[in-house]
Structure 1
Amino acid sequence: MRRPRHRSFQALLAGAIVAASALTAVATPGVADARACSNSGPIVPIPLIGRFLPKIGAAAGPQKAMPVYDSGRTKTVAWVTGPRSMNKTFGRFGVSGTDVGVAWDNGRGQTLLAFGDTFGNCLTGDQQWRHNALLRSGDQNLADGLRLDGGGYAGQMFGALGFEGIEKTTIPTAGISINGKQYVNYMSVRAWGPPSVWYTNYSATAVSSDNGHSWFTPQNTIRINAGVTVPLGAGSPSMQAGDANFQQSAYVKGSGADAGWVFQYGTPNGRFGPAYVARFRPSDILDLGKYEYWTGRGWAPTPDAARPIVRGPVTELSVNWSPVLNKYVMLDSPRGVRLRTASSPQGPWSPPRLVAPSSLELYAPMMLPNSPALRGTGPELYFNASRWDDYNVLLVRTNVR
């Protein structure tokens, strides 16, 4: 009788967390006497970046001038977020500090951007902290920066319990549009660990039918990070050992011989693991039972069979198809932003090429879908990158040729 009780407990635990995650926090708009947040928390080393920086989860601000960098191939363009950005996100959206900036096309030419832990007015008791936030852009010319649309306080996409050691926060790691609906894969962070290490409860896929204004997480999309395989039954969360390798994600739609498939790249929680890849048909994005995993020789139906396609350390990932290169492009950022290419989604992937140095202190490079290199109109690839010193998102351009 022990096994059924254990299974029931795990399913109940996952269900409780998801129910809490479905709640959207309601926060008050910034008051007239408002101030962007700055950090007074502990300072700890981040070895993959190489500097002593604020602990993960604390706003580093206040935002400084954009770091100027131009190597001839790669150039910093403009702040995307923060009080000093051209978007004035503090006054317009109540966002003084944020990171990640996962970007994808909503299927109608608008770019949606999902951010991680977000801060607003420092004078409020909770600094208007949100677990995540969504902003939008119709900007088709990124040469002079990424302009955001609209205004109004940017509320949470999905909530979290908010307790360290149980569920501290929920952070988007990948986004994609399929048949008019928006899908975001996110991780439920249980606790922050040593530098560049964090511990997750699960990853899951949230879906929106109204262009990101509201989100719902089906329980059967949850991948519990337990390191063991236990069958939980149809409609329940997945609990397989291999799910630990898909706690953070990146999506890309297949091209050429891979057309008709969507590929999900996965890494374990933190910034030290290797990368894996799964594939599924677009209509099956919410059905983990129909995913297939690359084994090194072929595709298998369980995550336990997946084998690495890129050796670690691999950090937060972004993957896209470039018609200019006729290859898939991958970005990550241990000690600077690196670029790899491959002719097929599973690789083999090229050795990494450094496109932005570690001195810029950038992490989580997320490609912009309307980059010329991704549209086939030029070699310029634009990506969002977060910067710890300012805890805000910066637009960077590189030449993929």
Structure 2
Amino acid sequence: MNKTASALLSAVAGASALILVATTPAEANPNAINPIPVLNGTSGLPNLAGRTRAVFQVTGMASPNNTQSYNVLGTDLGIMWDNGNGEMLTAFGDTAGLGLPNLLAGSFWAWRSNILVRSHTHDPSTGIFFDSVVRDIVGQARDLIPSPKIPFVEISRIPTAGISAGGVQYMSLMSVQSWDDVGQWTTNFSGLAASGDNGETWGELPATRRPNDGGNANFQMNAFLKNGGFVYEYGTPSGRNKAAYVARVREGDIANLGEYEYWDGEHWSRRGDVNAAAPIMGGVGEISVMYNEYLGQFISLTTDPFNSVVMRRAASPEGPWSAPEVLIDTRELPAAYAPSIFPYQTGRDLYFVTTVHTQYNVVLMRTTL
């Protein structure tokens, strides 16, 4: 065990009464966590008896990736995409680590809002292994886009989608203003950031900001899909148990909001008319979409209003989408959220990662289609 992990364990053992452990299924606030195995009531991978199996601990002190070596004890999300050259980039959301706590925000941890790791894993059957991480000058994982982390101004800037387009990496991030009721939060806006050096440095694209009002409020959290020369953007309002919408844009115009078309339920709208977007599915949380070669269909993963992880199918990116199929029943794992599809085809096996809030770390899952 490295010095960082030992120091953190000692600190936690001495102040464990002060640390909040999540007890609700879909808690949103990342401050209310304890990522230390055993001390947070978890030991090993979740034991699932249904259609899906937990196969690998991706992050945290129990992971073979040893993410504590760059001061990531706990994290959520796990937004994966191919960088256009066969390398997988993964952006994680709020990360808990050792350092100066942000007591103003109610956190006993030092944390970052968005970090990135790289991997050449194409066969996840034995796990997802990281090759490198974007670090700061002392070797810790660093924020890609800084956030002031001030309550009711911006408490965090969290990645929700990533894609490579025209040799440039793009992330969609949401600016979180406040954590509200369980599974709900309020955003200021969403917007794109871009990187021309494989995710090492990032710059915001202010012209892509979607304020949390009008039709743009339906695209505060996003997922990306490339198909037929278009980038499809699936959007939801902030929080869970909401409707999903879809837009599309030519790959070369991804940074130009005026070129986006919106599905109105029957047709693609005229460009730039965000208010034309109609719901394509309901009762969703964080969403991930991909074409699946084995099924010959597009699939989407999300959580439903009961907090089960569910899959839908469609013949085209805009739908119509099927009824949800439960992959992980909430009674098996009530603390799961934000399923994200592994970006490389794996035949009949569908691999995805999901966050388990009770341990505040990311786990790789496998479902047989």
TM-score, normalised relative to structure 1: 0.81
Per-residue CA deviation, residues 241-297 of structure 1 (Å, 9 max, x unaligned), is 10000000000011xxxx111100000000021000000000000000000000011
> What is the one-letter code of the residue matched to 1:65?
S
Residue matched to 2:88: 111
> What is the one-letter code of the residue matched to 1:86?
P
Match among 74, 91, 101 for residue 52 of structure 2: 74
> What is the one-letter code of the residue matched to 1:90?
Q
Matched residue of 1:90: which SS? helix
> What is the one-letter code of the residue matched to 2:299?
V
> What is the one-letter code of the residue matched to 2:337?
Y
Q: Measure how far apart 1:162 and its partner are.
A: 1.2
Per-residue CA deviation, residues 333-362 of structure 1 (Å, 9 max, x unaligned), is 132110000001111100000011212221
Per-residue CA deviation, residues 4-48 of structure 1 (Å, 9 max, x unaligned), is xxxxxxxxxxxxxxxxxxxxxxxxx975853168674557764xx
Q: Measure how far apart 1:160 and its partner are.
A: 1.2
Unaligned runs of 5+ in 2: 103-108, 134-138
Matched residue of 1:289: which SS? helix
**Contact 1:66–1:78 (8 Å) recurs in 2:** no
Match among 236, 242, 253 for residue 215 of structure 2: 242
Match among 143, 150, 156 for residue 125 of structure 2: 143
**Contact 2:47–2:53 (8 Å) recurs in 1:** yes
Aligned length: 342
**Contact 1:294–1:306 (8 Å) recurs in 2:** yes
Residue matched to 1:155: 142
Residue matched to 1:203: 190
Matched residue of 1:167: which SS? coil
> What is the one-letter code of the residue matched to 1:321?
Y
Say yes or no: does 1:191 pair with 2:164.
no
Residue matched to 1:309: 280
In the alignment, the residues of structure 1 paired with residue 30 and residue 140 of structure 2 have an alpha-carbon distance, to the nearest angstrom, of 24
| Distance change in 2, residues 1:354/1:32 (3 Å) | closer
Match among 299, 303, 317 for residue 268 of structure 2: 299
> What is the one-letter code of the residue matched to 2:62?
R
Residue matched to 2:362: 393
**Structure 2 counterparts to residues 2-401 of structure 1, below 5 A:** 34-35=7-8, 40=18, 46=24, 49=25, 55-63=29-37, 64-71=42-49, 73-91=51-69, 93-121=70-98, 124-126=100-102, 127-150=109-132, 152-225=139-212, 227=213, 241-254=214-227, 259-300=228-269, 301=271, 302-311=273-282, 313-334=283-304, 335-358=307-330, 359-360=332-333, 361-372=335-346, 378-400=347-369
| Distance change in 2, residues 1:69/1:215 (3 Å) | same
| Distance change in 2, residues 1:31/1:78 (3 Å) | closer
> What is the one-letter code of the residue matched to 2:293?
P
Matched residue of 1:277: which SS? strand
| Distance change in 2, residues 1:32/1:330 (3 Å) | closer
In the alignment, the residues of structure 1 paired with residue 28 and residue 229 of structure 2 have an alpha-carbon distance, to the nearest angstrom, of 43
Per-residue CA deviation, residues 122-175 of structure 1 (Å, 9 max, x unaligned), is x64453311111111111221111111136421111111211111110000000
Q: Measure how far apart 1:217 and its partner are.
A: 1.1
| Distance change in 2, residues 1:118/1:198 (3 Å) | same
**Contact 1:30–1:94 (8 Å) recurs in 2:** no
In the alignment, the residues of structure 2 paired with residue 270 and residue 60 of structure 1 have an alpha-carbon distance, to the nearest angstrom, of 22
In the alignment, the residues of structure 2 paired with residue 137 and residue 248 of structure 1 have an alpha-carbon distance, to the nearest angstrom, of 24
Matched residue of 2:252: which SS? helix
Instruction: Give the aligned CA root-mean-square deviation in angstroms.
Output: 2.1
Q: Measure how far apart 1:65 and its partner are.
A: 2.5
In the alignment, the residues of structure 1 paired with residue 22 and residue 338 of structure 2 have an alpha-carbon distance, to the nearest angstrom, of 19
| Matched-pair identity in % | 39
Matched residue of 2:192: which SS? strand
Q: Measure how far apart 1:392 and its partner are.
A: 0.3
In the alignment, the residues of structure 1 paired with residue 345 and residue 264 of structure 2 have an alpha-carbon distance, to the nearest angstrom, of 32
**Contact 2:20–2:34 (8 Å) recurs in 1:** no
| Distance change in 2, residues 1:177/1:41 (3 Å) | same
Matched residue of 2:94: which SS? coil
